[in-house]
Structure formats: structure tokens, C-alpha cells
């Protein structure tokens, strides 16, 4: 295989991603938008439909199927601590009344894994799987602060400094160090306008970082007292979660070792 990969697979993913972007399209529309021959589009769509990854509606438009959701759900369960975090999200949402989200790092981006909404929680269009740059939000910076030094340095190398607010690399690095020392991150520069966030890290007793839990609310509700209150709730709840993750993962490994003997 060449260093540039396989062109046919690149084309297939171009089609898949464009179908998602336009929320469904027919062969002619896809061919026009992507600059491909209709025969090429049709060939890829036929394969994807046969494998169950796209479906065709009554208007002959193709849409992604829920098979992607199945695969994504499996990845979320196997590759993140979501199965441990999910009950905690609901618990914190009920206690704070706000929207609570679990975020992780993947391929240098911050990815939303799932959320729960409390009684007063805001509702946004951000869905599981949505990703954004790490350095653009408080929770993303918290993730950066807890990544291994080598990986963090590599990701910082990819950022074009200075940032829009004239912050250079040294200033951002100092901010990340403060966030790590504080044990939480807070800010008003959320993805959603006029929404602030408070985030705390999930770090088990073996010092493994599993992502962050984020409480989001209208910025006007986040005065100093409210921020401190939510930070304390997060740190207390996540403290118990960290112990559970360590114990359950250790038990799983012991049971796996016994089965393989």
C-alpha cells in the first residue's frame, strides 16, 4: 500500500461524510458535490447499502444507517470509561440541576461521549461524537493539562500561536499547569455562546486519566459561589468514581488472568 493510502477507501469515506453533512443525498447530488462520476458514487453506495451502512428513502436519497451508531456505541463502551461514568452524569445532573457531559481526548481532539440534563439544564445541538479543538474550551484545556507530557507537547506543536486573544505558548502552558494544580477548570469561553462550564478530571488511583466531567449552564448563573459549589460536587463525586474504576478494572484483569491460565 502506498503512503497515500487507498484511493477507493478515501472516496468511500468522502461519500459517507458528505451524506452526514448534507443529511442525505441522491447519486446525482453526491456526484456533483464531490466531483465524482455517478457510476463511482453508485458503486460505493451499493456496497455500503449491502453492508448495512446506508439506507435509501422513498425519494431515492441515501442516509447513514444506525449501524454507525452501533459501532460507535461499542467503541465508547470499550475504549472509554463511559460505562463507569454514565450513572455519575445522571447523579450530578439531578444534584446540580444543570447539563452534565463526559468528554475525552481522541486523535488530538476533544470528543463528547454523552450527557445528562438536569431540571434547569440547557439543551444544545451538541451530540455524542461531536469534536472540537482542545485549547478552545476550559474542559479541553483541562484534558490537555492531564495528558502525558510528550503527547501534550506534540499537540501544542500543532497549534498556531499566538491565539486570537494574543496568548502565546508559554502563557497557555502556564495556564495548563494552574488548571492541573487547581483540580478543575472554569471559563465562559464555551462552545455555545453565553454558556459557561466547570470541569473536573477523572484520574483513577493508578494515575490513569480517563477524561473529564463537565457541568454547563448559562454564564449568568455561574457566579464565584456557584462555581465553587459545582467544583466541590464534581471533585467529591469523581473521587468516589476514581476508586470504583480502579477496583473494577483491577477485578476484571484478575478474572481475565484466571480464565487464561
Q: What domains are defined for the chain?
A: 7-65 (1.10.10.10), 71-256 (3.30.450.40)
The residues with which 99 forms a beta bridge, in sequence order, are 117, 216
Question: pLDDT at position 106, please?
Answer: 95
Interatomic CA distance for residues 118 and 19, integer angstroms:
33
Give the closest residue to 140 by CA, choosing from 177, 185, 107, 85.
185
Q: What is the pTM of this model?
A: 0.85
CB 101 within 8 A of CB 89: yes
Give the closest residue to 179 by CA, choosing from 238, 137, 219.
137
Question: pLDDT at position 61, please?
Answer: 97
Using 50 as the pLDDT threshold, list the residues of the chain that sit under it. 1-2, 250-261
pLDDT tens-digit series, residues 157-191: 999 999 988 999 999 999 999 999 999 999 987 78
Amino acid at each position: 500500500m502506498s503512503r497515500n493510502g487507498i484511493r477507493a477507501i478515501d472516496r468511500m469515506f468522502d461519500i459517507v461524510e458528505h451524506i452526514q453533512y448534507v443529511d442525505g443525498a441522491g447519486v446525482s447530488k453526491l456526484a456533483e458535490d464531490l466531483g465524482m462520476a455517478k457510476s463511482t458514487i453508485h458503486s460505493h453506495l451499493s456496497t455500503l447499502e449491502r453492508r448495512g451502512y446506508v439506507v435509501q428513502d422513498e425519494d431515492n436519497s441515501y442516509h447513514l444507517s444506525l449501524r454507525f451508531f452501533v459501532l460507535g456505541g461499542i467503541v465508547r463502551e470499550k475504549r472509554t470509561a463511559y460505562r463507569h461514568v454514565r450513572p455519575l452524569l445522571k447523579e450530578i445532573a439531578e444534584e446540580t440541576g444543570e447539563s452534565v457531559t463526559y468528554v475525552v481526548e481522541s486523535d488530538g481532539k476533544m470528543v463528547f461521549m454523552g450527557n445528562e440534563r438536569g431540571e434547569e439544564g440547557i439543551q444544545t445541538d451538541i451530540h455524542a461524537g461531536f469534536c472540537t479543538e482542545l485549547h478552545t474550551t476550559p474542559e479541553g484545556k483541562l484534558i490537555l493539562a492531564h495528558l502525558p507530557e510528550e503527547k501534550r507537547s506534540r499537540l501544542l506543536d500543532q497549534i498556531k500561536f499566538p491565539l486570537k486573544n494574543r496568548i502565546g505558548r508559554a502563557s497557555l502552558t502556564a495556564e495548563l499547569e494552574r488548571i492541573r494544580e487547581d483540580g478543575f477548570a472554569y471559563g465562559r469561553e464555551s462552545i455555545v455562546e453565553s454558556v459557561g462550564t466547570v470541569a473536573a478530571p477523572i484520574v483513577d488511583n493508578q494515575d490513569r486519566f480517563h477524561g473529564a466531567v463537565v457541568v454547563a449552564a448559562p454564564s449568568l448563573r455561574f457566579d464565584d459561589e456557584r462555581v465553587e459549589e459545582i467544583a466541590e460536587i464534581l471533585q467529591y463525586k469523581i473521587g468516589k468514581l476514581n476508586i470504583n474504576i480502579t477496583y473494577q478494572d483491577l477485578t476484571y484483569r484478575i478474572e481475565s488472568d484466571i480464565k487464561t491460565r
